[in-house]
Amino acid sequence: MVGFAGLWVTLGALEAGKRLALANKESLVAGGPVVRRVRSTPGAMIVPIDSEHGAIHQCLRGGKTDEVDKVILTSSGGPFRTKTYEELTKVTLEEALNHPTWKMGPKITVDSSTLMNKALEIIEAVELFDLVPSQVEVVVHAQSIVHSMVAFRDGSIL
């Protein structure tokens, strides 16, 4: 389920104490505090599917959130990462739909090209991993090899 409609499915699965493989960030962005409350239901668990949050989830399986200094999400920077302000004032929809790294549907492509998707991923990380916003950083990694990292309080980074 895409968009806000997925919130009801997310809540239902968690309230029933199910393990939920979640690929719908909108459920967490729009309903974060509500979802957070039902995550404490016995048996309820969210397993993120998307690459950034899935990698963070795997890094945290052996530790605790209170051991985390920060999480680092990467971004390719999109098709506009090298543009000047003047050039950005003249970009077209066609350019926004030409993402340099990923081939996706039009909405997610525009959201990724404008970095709006990365803003949503920050909110998603805060909600999924019980972080405060200052614990989430974004770095531009044009090669898109690393999708995310977890920096721990002991100085290690996975």
In a shared domain, residues 70 and 143: yes
Q: Against a cut of 0.85, is the pTM above it?
A: yes
| pLDDT per position as a tens digit, 104-124 | 899 888 998 889 999 999 999
Whether residue 30 sits in one domain with residue 68: no
| 68 and 126 inside one domain | yes
pLDDT digits 0-9 by tens, 3-49: 778 899 999 999 999 999 999 899 999 999 999 999 999 999 999 99
Task: Tell me: pLDDT of 74 over 90.
Answer: yes
Tally of domains in the chain? 2
Residue 101 and residue 144 in one domain: yes
Q: Shortest CA distance to 102 belongs to which of 94, 114, 112, 92?
A: 112
Domain range holding 128? 64-158
Average pLDDT, the chain: 92
**Domain shared by 83 and 125, yes or no:** yes
pLDDT exceeds cutoff 70 at 72: yes
CA distance 47 to 88: 37
* 120 plus 96 within the same structural domain: yes
Residue 1, pLDDT > 70, answer no
Is position 54 within any domain? no
Are 91 and 151 in a shared domain?
yes
